[in-house]
Structure 1
Amino acid sequence: MIKKGIASLSFFCLCTALLSCQSEKENQQQEIVLTNQSSVDLTDKAVAVNRDKLSGIPEGDLYPVLLTQAGDTVAAQLDDLDGDNKWDELFFVTDLPANGKRTLLLSWANTQPGYTTRTSVRFGKRLAADSPVQPRTSDTLYANQLPKSANYGYQPYQTDGPAWENDKVGFRHYFDGRNAKDIFGKKVSYMSPETVGISASGAVEDNYHEMKEWGRDIMAVGNSTGIGGIALMIGDTPYRLGVTVNDTVNNVENTSFKILTEGPVRSMLQLRYNNWKPDGTDRSYTVEEQPTIWPGMYAYRNTVEAAGVQGDETLLIGMNNLDKTDSIAEINVDDEWVVLLTHDRETYNNEWILGLALILPKAAYLGYMEAPASGKLAQAYFAKMKAQENQPVTYYAVGGWEGSNEAFKDPASFRNYVQDLTRQLAAEVDVQVK
């Protein structure tokens, strides 16, 4: 949050600009009244206001300005989530006291206010082994385009696929057919460099397993699906979505990726797996997921849905289990959520403590299972969730590295953090626009 004096000056300048180029009617402010309906103090609570709840939206490319009644600026962004080139939601994060209210004033500016960047997405690809990596906002991977495929033979993707982060933690998705989710441990609140995973000459380079000022890749994934990665069980048999690092042909016909939105307070991706045929079956599925991150939490949200479901499937949501020191804990939180949690050294060479957790909706939860010690889908715990045709399941994946927060060394502290985060995420905020 910007200090009051700076915010007041910025607001004065914005108002002057608005008055010079817009009509008085267009400059009428709206009040957004937020009511915390829970008994929990909320920090960086995510709030999304649908476009249809706002009135008098000015024409043209204008930007929202949100002010508290004290004159402080609240970072906000407009997100087009359906790709129709028209924004759908006003999004921001804010603090709210338990059972308390807060009123924000919404106006519009013709220039983008400057905010501290607290989320980002990074994705790059090279088109040939000797070509430099270029940033991209979307891509499609076909079944014969794996790094070990005969016509490839190289890793095309920066950091093996897209990475997303906030001011607390970073994650990455192995878009190269493996479809596991890894963790970048952060030691700083600013965003890690865009050049992570790229050499000075622009080539793909594994330079993120070395400790830098910002942090490094910390988690050992093996043949698990990482933290929050997905798989499917048909009957009693689990199947990997995609392949392992040494495979040459994917079992997914094509996998598409695109950045849905990237902004100072929210970034969202879309991953779509078209015509996935689990090995040894005659089944075909289309699966979609939307990893999303906003500031203030050592976690990301994911929403998954599948088409082609026949009724004997179970959605599996993973957390890796390469270190057997700590057994998994199952924790019920307020009758609506279930937490699966481990606290051990799920890191390279077992060097650091890394607490992992899944925050799962109890209504869809069917228990958990342990994967085999070896094989294409191994070294993991899986939450078992109801799989229904085109019915989304939303959950949260948490990674608490001791290098980011020393309190995470203590198992009770990490457990308390995850339980508090669950209540923060579950808390409902009533939004009224006046």
Structure 2
Amino acid sequence: MKKNVMVWAACVAGLVACGDRGTLVSVANPTEQFRENEIVAVPWVEIGAGHTEADPQNVIVLSAAGDTLPSQVIFDGGETPVELIFPATVEASGTSDYRIVTGAAPEFPPRAYGRYVPERLDDFAWENDRIGFRMYGPALEATGEISNGIDIWLKRTEEMVVDQWYRDGDYHTDHGKGLDCYKVGRTLGAGAMAPYVHDTVVLGNNYVSYRILDRGPLRIAFELAYAPYEAGGVTVNEKRIVSLDAGDAFNRITELYDRSFDAVAGIVLHGEGEVLQEEGLTAYWEPQQSDNGHTAVAVIVPGGAVGHENCGHLLTPATVEAGVPCTYYAGAGWSKAGFADAAAWFDFVRAKAERIARPLQVSVR
């Protein structure tokens, strides 16, 4: 194995030495945070400008030291490349340089994965190397179990577990890699969005169709469509686009509605836990759950107001305009996988909110 890696490194080094400068990329960090392995994107048209031989099968991303980094071409559900993503590491207020060249691109093990699960009543489940989630589909609704909330699969392994856990059918017990101990029911669960009419959360039903937009190895992205439902005397149509990047605890969620209204992103309350609510940010540290520790949940609505508690949820306000994408973030963590207490979770969520507000700045030269 080491010999193969050395040969690969030598081939890449020879490629660059022969004058293939490819596309040079600089990533600048505008914050005082150390940004480690954060996914950044380079528009595909800019890669082509730097290297006319580039295609989705042959692009390679190199660090300044010449190391080959995992990467993924993003298609966003289409057939034409949209952008290239890869993990960047940048010191506080610093800049890191990368190079995109062409060659025999290696395969990378998945660090983000998801799929439709017909064998479990049409679940859609997705995960990355730190956390997992699922939403419920039409076959489950047909049994009378209705929810458009987000479920959490807690993990303490970097392995992809979705296929194994469904195959074994024993994911409510922790066998060393994590478990599903989260209770969604007829709620928004871990951060789903809903219309908010007359101080009431209007819950939709299970998704009716899905479409996978990108399949990893660094990003899983998909779209769910929902059947029309009534909210405040009008019929609402909804689509929900979700993406999860490798290494991230937060989903990026874009809601598309055909009506304008006040909305909320909600976290269901599971007892007297610890709560943080600031402008556009709600974080919840659930009470201890027997031997399963504490589940941590958060929602970030950029530009949003301070939330409140109602209808058994912690609610973060959002304003939805008909036909205009509304993007926010919902994520989770676990006391058995990196978060010692509520304070650690709250600090993590605040830091994530700053990273969203001040993203890494990518320039091509």
Q: TM-score range by the shorter chain?
A: 0.7 to 0.9
- Name stretches of at least 5 consecutive residues in structure 1 with no aligned partner: 126-132, 134-154, 200-204, 244-253, 333-337, 373-378
The aligned residue for residue 9 of structure 1 is 7
**C-alpha displacement of 1:98:** 1.3
Q: Deviating runs (4+, > 6 A) in structure 1? A: 15-19
For residue 277 of structure 1, what is the amino acid of its counterpart?
Y
Does residue 182 in structure 1 map to residue 125 in structure 2? no
Q: In the alignment, residue 295 of structure 1 is paired with which amino acid? A: A
Kindly indicate whether the alpha-carbon contact (under 8 Å) linking 2:77 and 2:214 is maintained by their aligned counterparts in 1. Answer: no
Partner AA of 1:413 in structure 2: A
Select 1:419's aligned residue among 316, 328, 350.
350
Q: Which residue of 1 aligns with 2:184?
A: 221
Task: Report the CA distance between 1:28 and its aligned residue.
Answer: 4.9
Please tell me the residue identity of whatever aligns with 1:355. Answer: A
1:7/1:71 contact within 8 Å kept: no
Q: Hey, what's the Cα distance between the residues in 1 that align with 2:16 and 2:31?
A: 37
**1:329 to partner: Cα distance:** 2.1
Give the Å deviation of 1:60: 5.6
CA deviation after TM superposition for structure 1 residue 79, in Å: 1.1
Q: Secondary structure at the match of 1:277?
A: strand
Change (3 A) 1:69 1:6: farther
Do the aligned partners of 2:281 and 2:307 also contact (CA within 8 Å) in 1? Answer: no
1:247-396 matches, within 5 Å, as 255-274=208-227, 276-278=228-230, 282-309=233-260, 313-323=261-271, 325-326=272-273, 328-332=275-279, 338-345=280-287, 351-362=292-303, 365-372=304-311, 379-396=312-329
Counterpart contact for 2:114–2:215, Cα < 8 Å: yes
Q: Identity over aligned residues, as a percent?
A: 21
Any residues of structure 2 matched to 1:61-210 within 5 Å, and which?
A: 62-83=57-78, 85-109=79-103, 111-125=104-118, 133=119, 156-157=121-122, 161-176=123-138, 177=141, 178-198=147-167, 205=169, 207-210=170-173
Correspondence for 1:143: none
Code of the aligned partner of 2:293? W
Is the 8 Å Cα contact of residues 118 and 295 (structure 1) preserved in structure 2?
yes
Corresponding residue of 1:335: none
Change (3 A) 1:61 1:165: closer
Which of structures 1 and 2 has the bigger CA Rg?
A: 1
Provide TM-score, normalisation by structure 2: 0.87
Tell me the TM-score normalized by structure 1: 0.74
Cα separation, partners in 2 of 1:399 and 1:193, compared to 1, 3 Å: closer
Aligned residues: 356
- Paired position in structure 2 for 1:401: 334
How far apart, in 2, do the equivalents of 1:92 and 1:285 lie? 37
Per-residue CA deviation, residues 195-239 of structure 1 (Å, 9 max, x unaligned), is 42245xxxxx5x211212321112122322111212112344431
- Decide whether the 8 Å contact of 1:45 with 1:425 is kept in 2: no
Identify if the C-alpha distance between structure 1 residues 72 and 18 changes in structure 2 by more than 3 Å, giving closer, same or farther: closer
SS of the residue corresponding to residue 188 of structure 1 reads coil
Q: Which SS does the other structure have where 2:230 is aligned? A: coil
Structure 1 Cα separation of the partners of residues 234 and 241 of structure 2: 23
Letter paired with 1:392: P
What is the CA–CA distance in structure 2 between the aligned matches of 1:105 and 1:413, rounded to whole Å? 35
Q: Which residue in the other structure is 2:144 paired with?
A: none
**Per-residue deviation, 1:293:** 0.8
Mapped to 2, the partners of 1:293 and 1:186 lie a distance apart of: 15
- State the shift of 1:186 in Å: 0.5
Distance verdict in 2 for CA 1:301–1:180, change over 3 Å: same
Worse-superposed segment, 179-188 or 48-57: 48-57
Which is richer in helix?
Answer: 2
State the Cα deviation string for residues 269-312 of structure 1 (Å, max 9, x = none).
Answer: 111225x1227x64222212211111223222211121133xxx
Residue 102 of structure 1 aligns with an amino acid whose one-letter code is S
Give unpaired runs (5+ residues) of structure 2.
142-146
Distance 1:193 1:17 in 2: 38
Q: Is the 8 A contact 1:288 1:304 kept in 2?
A: yes
C-alpha separation between the residues in 2 aligned to 1:17 and 1:286?
52
